[in-house]
């Protein structure tokens, strides 16, 4: 997958992409990241990319022209079609199904805003999707873009060493993950649950599923609302005393 980042700080996002799973995905040729700075496409001695907001008020707004010129260069660099995704607190909340959808594309173009945002005319004309990574305000879209790149990179085929681990993640099934333990089995902080040491794979899978249900119920009950439950899940929920709707 190819990711193009349009940002006033493209090297900042590229930095994040140099480490861990994302870095390895790059080394394995599964992901390539290309940074683009609208300032390089701005006119005049000052290479201005922002201006005051019409109607008055604090903050600066990113101007249409440098963004348009920059985006044209991004498109001209490579013919593969790609949606333009704008990272903004006004966007739709990022979810694992959305990550999966984007991860399956051959390319995406990420646009990071700074200041008060981007001239709305550019957003209406050029942006395919607006995505938020949560109900809080960052000082720019760069960290949000880094989050999205990380989530998408680890889903590229061959990016993770243990092929199973992505499928078993939190949210892949719409539930939180179960607890995990490692050696030593016995420690001053407590014991590893006996079932995990039993070697009974069926019992272990049932326990893990039940723990995932319990955690989701305790921490994020809204994730469970309106769901269709399998017969097995119904049984596990009943054992926990969690009422079915």
Annotated binding site for S-adenosyl-L-methionine: 113, 133-138
The CA distance from 42 to 26, in Å, is 30
Q: Does 42 bind ligand ADE (CB under 6 A)?
A: no
Cβ distance to ligand ADE smaller for residue 132 or 156: 132
The closest alpha carbon to 87, from 113, 123, 107, belongs to: 113
The crossing angle, in degrees rounded to 10, of helices 20-27 and 142-153 is: 60
Please choose, out of 58-66, 69-77, 128-136, 222-230, the segment that lies near ligand ADE by the rule CB under 6 A: 128-136
Residue nearest to ligand ADE (CB): 144
**SS3 state of residue 87:** strand
Q: Is 117 in the site for ligand ADE (CB under 6 A)?
A: no
Say whether residue 59 binds ligand ADE (CB under 6 A): no
Distance linking the first and last C-alpha atoms of the chain? 42
Residues in the chain: 245
- Nearer residue to ligand ADE within complex by CB, 53 or 177: 53
Question: Hey, what are 25's tokens?
Answer: 């995905």
Rule CB under 6 A: choose which of 79, 136, 222, 243 binds ligand ADE. 136
Residue of 38, 66, 89, 142 marked active site: 89
Cis amide bond preceding 184, omega within 30: yes
> Which of 17, 49, 133, 146 is the binder for ligand ADE (CB under 6 A)?
133
Binding site for ligand ADE (CB under 6 A): 87-89, 132-134, 136-138, 141, 144
């Amino acid at each position: 997958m190819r990711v193009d980042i349009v940002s006033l700080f493209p090297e900042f996002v590229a930095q994040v992409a140099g480490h861990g799973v994302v870095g390895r995905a790059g080394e394995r040729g599964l992901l390539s990241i290309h940074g683009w700075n609208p300032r390089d496409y701005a006119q005049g001695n000052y290479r201005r990319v922002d201006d005051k907001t019409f109607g008055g008020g604090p903050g600066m707004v990113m101007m249409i022209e440098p963004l348009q010129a920059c985006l044209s260069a991004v498109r001209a660099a490579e013919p593969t079609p790609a949606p333009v995704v704008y990272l903004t607190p006004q966007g739709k909340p990022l979810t694992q199904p959305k990550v999966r959808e984007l991860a399956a594309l051959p390319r995406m173009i990420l646009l990071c805003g700074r200041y008060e945002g981007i001239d709305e005319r550019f957003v209406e004309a050029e942006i395919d999707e607006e995505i938020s990574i949560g109900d809080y305000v960052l000082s720019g879209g760069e960290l949000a873009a880094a989050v999205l790149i990380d989530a998408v990179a680890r889903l590229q085929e061959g990016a993770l060493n243990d092929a199973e681990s992505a499928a078993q993640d939190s949210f892949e099934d719409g539930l939180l993950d179960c607890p995990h333990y490692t050696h030593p089995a016995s420690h001053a902080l407590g014991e590893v649950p006996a079932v995990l040491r039993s070697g009974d794979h069926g019992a272990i899978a049932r326990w893990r599923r039940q723990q995932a249900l319990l955690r989701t119920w305790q921490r994020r009950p809204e994730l469970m609302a309106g769901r269709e439950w399998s017969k097995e899940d119904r049984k596990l929920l009943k054992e926990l005393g969690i009422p079915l709707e």
